[in-house]
Amino acid sequence: MNTLSILFVLPLLIIFSYLFDAFARKTKFPAVILLMITGIIVRAITNAYGYNEFGFLDNLIPVLGTIGLILIVLEGAVELEISREKLPLILKGFLAALFILVANIWALKWIFNFLFQMETNEAILYAIPLSIISSAVAIPSAAILISKEREFVIYESTFSDILGIMIFNYAIRQFESNQPLIGASPLVSLGLQILGVIVISLAITYVLFRLLQQIHHHVKFFLILALLILVYAFGKLFHLPALVTIFIFGIFLSNVKSLLPQFLLKYLDIEQTEKGFHEFHILTAESTFIVRTFFFLFFGFSIQILDFDSFSPVIYGLIIFLVMLILRYVYLSVTSFKLKPSSLVYMSPRGLISILLFIQLKDVSFINTETSPIDERVLLIVILSSMFIMLLGTLKKSTPNETVLSPEEEIKNELENVPVETHTIPESYSEIDNETLSENETDNP
């Protein structure tokens, strides 16, 4: 493909992605499905014209996915407001992410052992990517929910990403060193590691925040993003949960007033900070849109329809998804004491994280991905199934009593719904008006 063709194709892909995003906002149909379908169609067309050499995608997709993951977690974190009133919601999102993730891993491990006679270590490593909720899909799709449900989805999906990657890396490290997955010593070591990462993350966050204020060059936000990616790369090199650093930085950036003590706030220009935060948020959102666009396009492009030469992957994928949906329904029903499923039951899409971790399985020494019954075809069925059921859940949400409001409309609605006593005229005033009216009628027959 020559330069002129690329100059035509790349802008058109971005334009299509923008139209898909606008279409998704109107119809609630996940834009990432349209992106993957577009990639599959383009691959079929290129194959028809004899272009079959696309080995560069094997390296490009993981890189795009990792950068997209960093940007998505950062974007989700900067949209969260931390306050004492929201601590119960944060805890609820964390517990949901943890318990549903662990339950899914255990259930899928048992299924893989029973159906495919997999070794326990291999079954666990295949179960983890399939159990993680994709914040790349869940956060944009949650925009149609009411504010509390939307924030719950952001917390849960972000925690699911972070916990899932931590468990995945921890499991690989334990299995490769022939150590037990669950035990007092490894769990204590993991806890201390997480605590150390949080402390280091707080220090890095404060340094980056000060750097953000001290730089007066007109190009500074991409420098901060580059440093965050570098921090993540160092974390990956030493098998540390570097996503925690990204998450803490985003939370700190958007909640500096409430998180920093007063004696530190006096050293910061808060007004300038808020202006910079707004600009940084716009840059993050724009960058996330571009990276997510090409990641899902290229992932769809890497799939060939001819690979589906058997119906088995479809059956396996539907079984896996059904098990995960039942577990989610049970957890949310028990914790909310409601048997009727809410929209939150359907908000558990799989996507970017699952794809990235599946790609990493190829580098695990004791796993042969070529002969495994759980392959990219099964992963694709699980992803599509979870997105379609999410679509049904969002369509179910669009009833007259559950109209999605903008923030301004929500504020107006709250003002209009103030208790009636504050708006009605006191009863004594009404009696005076009635007496006056009667006198006027008597005086003026």
Q: What is the DSSP string of 113-135?
A: HHHH---HHHHHHHHHHHH---H
Distances (CA, A) of 19 to 10, 158, 249, 389: 14, 26, 31, 22
3-class secondary structure, 50? coil
For residue 318, what pLDDT is reported? 93
Quote the mean pLDDT of the chain. Answer: 76
CA distance 139 to 193: 28
Q: What is the pLDDT of residue 428?
A: 43
| 256 neighbors 205 (Cβ within 8 angstroms) | no
d(CA 274, CA 258): 13
Amino acid at 399: T
Q: How far is CA 203 from CA 196, 264, 345, 443, in A?
A: 11, 14, 37, 81
Q: Tens digit of pLDDT for each residue in 201-230?
A: 888 877 877 777 777 766 777 888 888 888
User: Could you say which DSSP state residue 400 is in?
Assistant: G
The answer to whether the CB of 130 falls within 8 A of the CB of 108 is: yes
pLDDT(25) > 90: no
Token pair listed for 425: 């005229």
Q: What is the mean pLDDT of residues 49-60?
A: 70
Q: Which residue has the higher pLDDT, 290 or 5?
A: 290
Instruction: Check whether 295 has a pLDDT greater than 90.
Output: no
pLDDT at 365: 76
Domain architecture of the chain: domains with CATH: 3-404 (1.20.1530.20), 406-445 (no CATH)
Alpha carbons within 13 A on the beta-carbon side of 61: 25
Distance between CA atoms of 60 and 294, rounded to whole angstroms? 10
Region 331-339: mean pLDDT is 80
| Res. 270: pLDDT tops 80 | no
Predicted pLDDT at 362: 81
Summarize pLDDT for 90-145 with one digit per residue, the tens: 889 889 999 999 999 999 999 998 888 888 888 999 999 999 998 777 877 777 77
The answer to whether the beta carbons of residues 112 and 118 sit under 8 Å apart is yes
- Look at residue 269 and give its three-state secondary structure: coil
Write phi, then psi, for 241 (nearest 5 degrees).
Answer: -75, 75
Residue 68 CA neighbour count, 13 Å, CB half: 25
Q: What is the signed CA dihedral for 105, 63, 140, 135, rounded to 10 degrees?
A: 20
User: Residue 95 has what pLDDT?
Assistant: 92
pLDDT score of 146 more than 50? yes
pLDDT at residue 433 is higher than 90: no
Condensed to tens digits (0 to 9), the pLDDT of residues 76-87 reads: 777 777 777 788
Q: Best-predicted range by mean pLDDT among 5-19, 28-42, 102-116?
A: 102-116
Dihedral angle sign, alpha carbons of residues 238, 244, 246, 249 = negative
